[in-house]
Amino acid sequence: MKLNCIIVDDEEGSHQVLENYARKLNYLTLIGKYYNAIDAFHFMKTHRVDVLLLDINMPEVDGFSLLDMLTYKPTVIFTTAYSDYALKAFEYNAVDYLYKPIRFERFVVAMEKALRWNSLQQSTEIDAITLKVDGIATQVLITDIYFIESQGNYLKVHTRVKTYIVHMTMNEIEASLPVRSFIRVHKSYIINKNEIQKSDSEHTLVNGVIIPVGKTYKKYFAEFIKKNF
């Protein structure tokens, strides 16, 4: 199992240490490094993050406020020089709380917790999601979904049964979908991995529909295709 990870910390030294540690673990892929919560927030609006290495004391927006802003919650490991926030950190369901300077062996323990947590989440994934269509809660089977398309403030959920139009964000629906079955390929498209007919570096074909692969998703999608097709 691979975990996508980002670092959010305002100290260059912390970035260097955490990046070095992350590269030593073959199940961890570092997909972003940010020195403030606002930049991290914008990145997480369009990218799926499995593990968030998060400092607490940062200018403008602190680590707790960043979590409050997110519509979905990744697995959180706090990295801080202060012990004062430990209780509050676990109220945010953090899997671990690392004190700086962080030792490599302690980092590994925290990541193993994150790996187990994400594995558990996948093993208990749902078979259907509930969409609110015209004010009515509608159950849609995961296996029926071909792809999801963003159109302004609405989403089109293309399925074997029909196309549902729902008022929600891509991040909201992405957080409700099992990662074993879906992958984001563009800021406006999420596709069912099992429905891919063929792909190249620029496009993928799902249920006869050509879907573009966005620039920021190309590397991750190419790795997925290489391993699975």
pLDDT in tens, 23-48: 999 999 999 999 999 999 999 888 88
Choose the final residue of a domain: 100, 123, 146: 123
pTM: 0.61
For 117, left (φ over 0), alpha (ψ -120 to 50), or beta?
A: alpha
* CATH number for position 110: 3.40.50.2300
Confidence tier at 125 by pLDDT (50, 70, 90): low
- Could you give the CA distance from residue 33 to residue 198 in angstroms, rounded to a whole number? 32
In this prediction, residue 131 has a pLDDT band, given cuts at 50, 70 and 90, of very high
Q: Are residues 13 and 112 in the same domain?
A: yes
Instruction: Evaluate if residue 179 carries a pLDDT over 60.
Output: yes
Say if residue 116 is in the same domain as residue 136.
no
Domain final position from 108, 123, 138: 123
152 and 50 together in one domain: no
In angstroms, the first-to-last Cα distance of the chain is: 17
* Residues 99 and 57 reside in one and the same domain: yes
Residue 161: domain span = 128-228
The tokens for 194 are 């099992």
75-89, 119-133, 187-201: which range is least confident on average?
119-133
- Does 124 have pLDDT greater than 60? no
C-beta of residue 178 within 8 angstroms of C-beta of residue 118: no
Q: Which band of pLDDT confidence, cut at 50, 70 and 90, is reported for residue 92?
A: confident
Give the number of domains in the chain.
2
